[in-house]
Structure 1
Amino acid sequence: MNTPTPRYERAARRAQSDGRIPALSVALHRADREPWVFTVGESGNPAHPLGPDTRFRIGSVTKTFTAVLVLQARDEGLLDLDQPVNAYLDLPAHGDATLRRLLSHTAGFQREPHGDVWDTLIAPDAAKLVEELDRAERVLPNARRFHYSNLGLAVLGQLVAKVRGGTWEQIVAERILVPLGLDATTVEAPPQSAVGYLVDAYSDAARPEPPVPLGGVAPAAQLWSTAADMAKWAAFLTSPELVDPDGRVLKATTLDEMRWPLTTTDEALWGAGFGLGLILVPEGRRVMHVGHDGAMPGFLAGVYGRRGGEGNPGALGCAVLGSSGTAGQVNELVHELLRLAVELDPAEIRPWRIAAPAPKAYRSVLGHWWSEGSEFVFAWHDGQLQARLAEAPADRPPAVFAPLPGKESALPGQDDVLRTVSGRESGELLRLTRDEHGEVVRMHWATYRFRRFQDGFDGGPASSGPEPYRAGDPPAGRR
């Protein structure tokens, strides 16, 4: 098989050339291959030429780390996402915003802290950020619409520091960077950092941008990293069960929650959305790119992982880091490389293998059922009872059921109750009704009746033809 590396490299070289990016570092992480890392250009740092260990500022990708810290605290019972922030942090204003709204940028906070931070290049420290919140505007009503806010995520970072009893810088290192082995990701710029530039629009000159320490705004945009570390982080955000199988950083189900879209970023063009601190970019055919972009003076970053789709090996993450503050090619290349990875080097197709049959208690559930005039197929795969519309496309995930606690083994002659744990009607109950022989003859899913034949809401079979209906008659099934 031809190696896809030349195509990856060519895409990276084209982005660096077209975007006029002084230094570009890219990486692909996936479950079934060694990481691929490539650099092109010059670091601008004479003591440390450009290479895989060159560090770049990742800007707002930092927000994804802060979001994970918030969800960690929620999972441990320290926070409730639907409580106002002032339940945990004493604020002089805007304390009614809930944590969920702040994470999804729907709390209406103004974009930046009070003052002209990007003129003075002086950010408030953590204490001043909180003290001056009454000088910041609530530019939109709570929950009105998406409005991106560095201030909102900075407040959440200080909230995490408060409930953990430390600084955000300490907590992000102890609770994320160390457990995941992200050794090249740091709060401060290390010696091997690239220089960030403003590239002149009308010549090939480039001006080094000044370093901007963010103080209390650090939880929104402070971190430095390598492309390899960030590709691994993107893989974690999309496939935590592969990158962090023991859930040391966060449970896979919590990442599922973070990836659920809570808002679109544009009311008319539904091309991107926000979950809990994560940007969601739909790619069509049930494929989603999940991650975040980042920008700081002299630097741009794109860090995304790919979920779903044919050829996806799992834990597929990509990072593109550049030392120019103006090259949009950085943010385009990350998505191009994720597409190329599954196109040029798809995951191997696993052979089907014989498995154990469904438990005896569920065998009479398997097969075709009808509800609301539609046909469904119930099946047993991967040790789970599943259901899907008979006409559903193959790439649509099935509904998956699990017994309720105390109902782990079904008994003949007993009504069984299961919970829909994913897919269609997630959260709803499935009730099984058996005959005197223990065979399932009727089911109710989300209260809708399921039978082996097509019937109307009055219980009459479709094959019986029309019957006259008189106003005032009760439904046939209730007579």
Structure 2
Amino acid sequence: MSAVTDRLDRLVRQTQAHNRIPAVSAALHRADRPLWTCTVGGTGNDSPLGPRTQFRIGSVTKTFTAVLTLQCRDDGLLDLDDPVGRHLDLPAHGELTVRRLLSHTAGLQREPYGDVWDTLRAPDTEQLLADLARAERVLPSGRRFHYSNLGMALLGQLVGRLRGGTWAEVLSDRVLLPLGLTDTTVSPGPAAATGFLVDAYSDEAHPEPPTDFGAVGPAAQLWSTAGDMARWAAFLADPAAVEPAGTVLAPATLDEMRWPVTVTDETLWAGGFGLGLILVPQGDRVMHVGHDGAMPGFLAGVYGRRGGAGTPGAMGCAVLLSSGSASEALDLPHQLLAAAVEHDPAEIEPWRPGLPAPAPLRGMLGRWWGEGYEYVFSWHDGSLRARGAGDPPGKPPAVFAPLPDQPDVFRTVSGREVGELLRLSRDERGTVVRMHWATYRFTRNQETFDRFDFRAGN
């Protein structure tokens, strides 16, 4: 066993012992190493604890419902700005948009009508929809982040309606089977762990009752293994590496889901929410994307890692716990991801010479000035790029793609001014003498807006 896996194992064991968790199952997925797993404790029943032991993943389920919703959008079945009532016959709140429900900014109350967490009786589909008339919109739509299991349950009903099946059927056909997540199920298998509430003042662990969340299932129903969930986290962070064909969801759509829609705390910007995904900044342009989960007797943390030196492709981590009272342990997936990169970073790919820039662009490479700032335009990896001359090394460049029907016009496809046009202007000899990027003038020398050239003095 390597020193790195020893270190990861020790983090898991420390967490299990310190937080008094009956069972912990952890896994780390990355493109350049075999799957790492670690289990500590016991299931609380006759089944042995191992990598194939299922745990309840709670609200991690929401990430699956979000992906199913974006699949419907990509297939033209809905628009994210559609009111949900356009696709579901609802007695109330049909004006709330799909986008607001995905990002928890619709203002809808947190739970279905009634005391679900007191009775542990979840509504069926008919009751869920009928009781919408009694559910509150507790905030104006778009005002701020307000977490809502009810909102995600509605999106699960929407997906099933649009696809002509149940949410569970659509999930299996369109996500679980294509990605090989064979240990992820709506109901627990025979080898599932028992969930517990560990007594605060003794070592007694009280089993929690099993619950079926019925029509609220799209928000919290699933059971899974750490290995499956580490692969899922890797998909959310780097879909092209996990599923190159893009049949489950296009990488560009995952980019859209990961874009922050709202912060979760207006005074402490330590976390945000995209379209169904929690975003946890780690500093130095590193982001962890995924979700936490909590159900009676269980906690889960499932996150993929993006950005930063040493981060390999398809990196995801899952930590599943059979305790509902060990919330401090939900920091463990973030610790494991950071430790793996620190002590076993991805190999450094050697630089190799590439093809030259196309002849019409070679003369325009180099330094340009715009808005009083200096930029460097270059050709790398088959594309035209631009960076601020003073940008830190980790800041991504702007990347341009040519417009096929307009010579010397490019679209910014990523980075600064994404979506905007770059237009090249040439003199009679064909030399690029001026550029306009997002309509701002760029010149070889530093100029004022009224075109005073500091180098020429006029």
TM-score, structure 1 as length reference: 0.94
Contact 2:445–2:455, Cα closer than 8 Å, also in 1: no
Residue by residue over 1:366-418, the C-alpha shift from the partner in whole angstroms, topping out at 9 and shown as x without a partner, is: 100001111000001111100010000000000000012424xx4xxxxx111
Are 2:113 and 1:94 aligned? no
SS of the equivalent of 2:377 reads strand
Q: Any idea what the Cα deviations from partners look like across 1:51-71, whole Å, max 9, x if unmatched?
A: 010000000000000000000
1:450 maps to which of 432, 442, 446: 442
CA distance in 2, matches of 1:404, 1:134: 51
Q: Distance in 2 between matches of 1:295 and 1:64?
A: 14
User: Cα offset for 1:464?
Assistant: 5.1
Give the letter aligned to residue 144 of structure 1. R
Question: Which whole-Å deviations, capped at 9, do the CAs of 1:322-346 have from their partners, x for residues lacking one?
Answer: 0000102331101000100100100
Structure 1 stretches of at least 4 aligned residues deviating more than 3 Å after TM superposition: none
Q: Would you say the 8 A contact 2:21–2:326 is kept in 1?
A: yes
Query: Structure 1 residues 321-330 or 341-350, which shifts more?
Result: 321-330
2:297 is matched with: 298
1:180 alignment partner, SS class? coil
Deviation track 1:284-343 (CA, whole Å, cap 9, x = no partner) reads 111000000000000000000110001001111000000000102331101000100100
Would the aligned equivalents of 1:418 and 1:430 in 2 still touch at CA under 8 Å?
A: yes
User: 1:370-389 maps to which residues of 2 (within 5 A)?
Assistant: 370-389=369-388
* Structure 1 match to 2:8: 8
The question of whether the paired residues in 1 share the 8 Å contact of 2:63 and 2:276 is answered with: yes
Give, as a single letter, the amino acid of the residue that structure 2 aligns with 1:27.
A
Contact between 1:301 and 1:330, CA under 8 Å: does it hold in 2?
no
Give the match's secondary structure for 2:267.
Answer: coil
What's the secondary structure of 1:127's corresponding residue?
Answer: helix
**Other-structure match for 2:346:** 347
CA distance in 2, matches of 1:442, 1:222: 58
Q: How far did 1:186 drift? A: 0.4
CA distance in 2, matches of 1:235, 1:137: 36
Aligned to 1:54: 53
Instruction: Report what 1:22 is aligned to.
Output: 22
The 5 A counterparts of 1:58-457 are: 58-407=57-406, 410=407, 416-457=408-449
Q: Identity over the aligned pairs, expressed in percent?
A: 67
Question: 1:97-149: CA deviations, max 9, x gaps?
Answer: 11110000000010000000011110001121111111111000100100000
- Aligned counterparts of 1:328 and 1:310: Cα–Cα separation in 2: 29
Asked if the contact 1:56–1:224 (Cα under 8 Å) also holds between the matched residues in 2, the reply is: yes
Contact 1:321 1:330 in 2 (8 A): no
Measured after TM superposition, the shift of residue 437 of structure 1 is 2.2
Q: Tell me the alpha carbon deviations over residues 244-302 of structure 1, each in whole angstroms, 9 at most, x when there is no partner.
A: 11001000000000000000000000000000000000011110000000000000000
Stretches of structure 2 that go unaligned for 5 or more consecutive residues are none
- Aligned-partner residue type, residue 22 of structure 2: P
SS in structure 2 opposite 1:4? helix
Number of paired residues? Answer: 458
Look up the SS of the partner of 2:282 in the other structure. strand
1:40 maps to 40
Secondary structure of the structure 2 residue equivalent to 1:100? helix
Deviation at 1:2, TM superposition (A): 5.4
1:375–1:389: 8 Å Cα contact kept in structure 2?
A: yes
- Write the distance in 2 (CA, Å) between the matches of 1:330 and 1:293: 11
**Cα shift at 1:365:** 2.1
CA distance in 2, matches of 1:96, 1:314: 40
